A = this chain, B = another copy of it.
Amino acid sequence: MPLKALLAFETVIRHRSFTRAASELGVTQSAVSHQLRNLEDDLGLKLLDRSTSGVVPSADGERLFRDVGEAMNLLRLALDEVRETQRTRPVGVQIRSHFALKWLAPRLVEFWQRHPGFDLHFQHSNAPGDFSDPNLHISIEWYSRDTSPENSTDLRIGGLTPACHPGFLKGENALFQPSDLISHVLLHESDDVCWREWLTLAGIPKLCAARNEFYEDTNVRQQAALEGEGVALVTPSLIKDELGAGQLVLPFDLTLESYSYHLVVPADRLINPAARQFSNWIKRECGVA
């Protein structure tokens, strides 16, 4: 199908002029003339009566234009619509609420200033991003270096070390060394894997604490630690405020480094320019771009 020529034809008919059609199409008048000559040669009939005072379609041209004009309008509308929805579609971001609260929220204002013009749609979950949902573009997940998936980038924000209420450092069951944890409550996420790994690092893999409590949400878990509920594993760089204010303390100088936040973006989501921008911004902010 001589699509380009048909578009040129349609444009010429609308403008009744090669010159104006050329300028709409962003090409020279010569290009349009060539296109129309080719189309007429191809079809073997005259589509236009040319004159200096405007171009008028021949009977054949008129008939062809009825359908071609409609078709081109359809295409234009369809493209505009799809581009518009795409332009205004929010970038779907799954992000752990802790990272959202402690890292992202403080930086987001600056991001809006530098990249206005698109929306972000946040959802919070600890599970891996469900990218079968086409509206999810980016996920920030928590992985140890060797279990992180293919399409992820280590944001180098991470590490786990126990944190507790400052009161835990004194008194009867004061935390002097890791084995003292035996008489304390351990605050877990959904399982005890991380604590197990830290305890292994501390040389006491078998340690069994007084009690285990599970808080899916890290913000809540840390609040529980802050209130003296027990000892939670924390990422120090994310809770500088609480540490600075003395609300939480780190009893041991021993950090499990292997865990960190990872940016997960399937390659096919990067065709969304807004998603690409946001993803790049995060990497830049973390100094891993």
Contact = CB atoms under 8 A, between A and B. Distances in A.
A271 B41 contact: yes
Interface string A1-42: 101101100000000000000000000000000000000110
A27 to B, nearest CB: 13
A51 to B, nearest CB: 13
Interface string A192-211: 00000000000000000000
Interface stretch (A70-78, A96-104, A154-162, A244-252): A70-78
Given A40-B271, A272-B45, A75 B86 contact: no
Interface in A245-277: 268, 271-273
Contacts of A81: 63, 67
Contacts of A44: 86, 271-273
A59 interface: yes
**A-side interface size class:** 35 or more
A31 B82 CA distance: 23
A45 B271 contact: yes
Interface string A78-91: 11011101100000
Contacts of A40: 271
B63 A67 contact: no
A75 B3 contact: yes
A37 to B, nearest CB: 9
B6 A75 contact: yes
A44 B91 CA distance: 12
Contacts of A59: 134
A77 B67 contact: yes
Contacts of A77: 67
A56 B287 CA distance: 39
A68 B78 contact: yes
A58 interface: yes
B58 A134 contact: yes
A185 interface: no
Contact of A1 (B66, B75, B82, B272): B75
Interface of A: 1, 3-4, 6-7, 40-41, 43-46, 58-60, 63-64, 66-68, 70-72, 74-79, 81-83, 85-86, 134, 268, 271-273
